[in-house]
Amino acid sequence: VSLAAYMSLPPSSYDALDPAMITRRPGSPGAFTLRVQRARLLGVWLEPTVDVTVEVATVGTKPAVRLRSDGYRLDGSEIVRRLGIDERSATAFDATLTWTPGGTIAADIDIRVWAEPVGPFKAVPRRALAAAGDALLAGLTSLLLPAFLGKLAADYSRWAADSAYRAARGGEGKGGGAA
């Protein structure tokens, strides 16, 4: 069963990838909330939550799956809450997944971050803050995307090998049958 068929399945069942990480939001079949595993940095924990809309799309002539963030929340340690970092920061992303007939998935991601320096960080030069923020963002992104793609790969393997699971998830998809 082809990767193209799997990737063309309706995104409404993406919460089956990992119900602890991905939950469906009411109102739209492709709307989900992604919970990133708690990250620790210098004794402070951060736990981002991103609302995402997923759609099967076409990019140029290639079929694709697009993930677009619709909202972002940042929970964290007491210091994170007290400084109001959630209200003083924002993150948005657009990710496009494409694939080859040979079974390789590629991801193109555009991430935008805004943060207002808080407390003692107001005295730190912007360049240093930007570098630290970029490092933190890279760390969080390195948790989210590989975790999602790993779950997608594991689900595809199960879907391709298990006809009962394939039927429950939506059959053959739009991309055709056997590879």
CA distance 20 to 109: 23
Q: What are the angstrom distances between the C-alpha of 15 and each of 37, 49, 70, 83, 169?
A: 16, 15, 17, 33, 11
Per-chain mean pLDDT for the chain:
81
**What is the reported pTM?**
0.76
Q: What token pair was written down for 61?
A: 């002539």
Q: How high is the pLDDT of residue 107?
A: 87
Helix (H) or strand (E) run with residue 7 in it: helix 3-7
Query: How do residues 38-90 score in pLDDT, each as one tens digit?
Result: 878 778 888 888 899 999 888 888 899 999 988 888 888 998 898 888 888 88
Look up tokens 């997608």; give the residue: 152
User: What amino acid is encoded at 56 in this protein?
Assistant: V
Q: What is the pLDDT of residues 69-81, one digit of tens each?
A: 888 888 889 988 9
- The pLDDT score that the predictor gives to residue 141 is 62
Cα distances from 111 to residues 4, 11, 88, 95, 172, in angstroms, run: 26, 21, 17, 8, 32
- Rg (alpha carbons) of the chain, rounded to whole number: 18
Supply 160's token pair.
């391709």
Tens digit of pLDDT for each residue in 102-131? Answer: 888 888 888 887 777 777 777 778 777 777
The DSSP 8-state label assigned to residue 13 in this structure reads G
CA neighbor of 45 nearest in space, from 36, 58, 56:
36
Write down the pLDDT at residue 68. Answer: 92
CA-to-CA distance for 137 and 133, rounded, in angstroms? Answer: 6
Instruction: Give the pLDDT confidence of 155-175 residue by residue, as tens digits.
Output: 889 998 999 988 887 765 554
DSSP summary character for residue 121: G
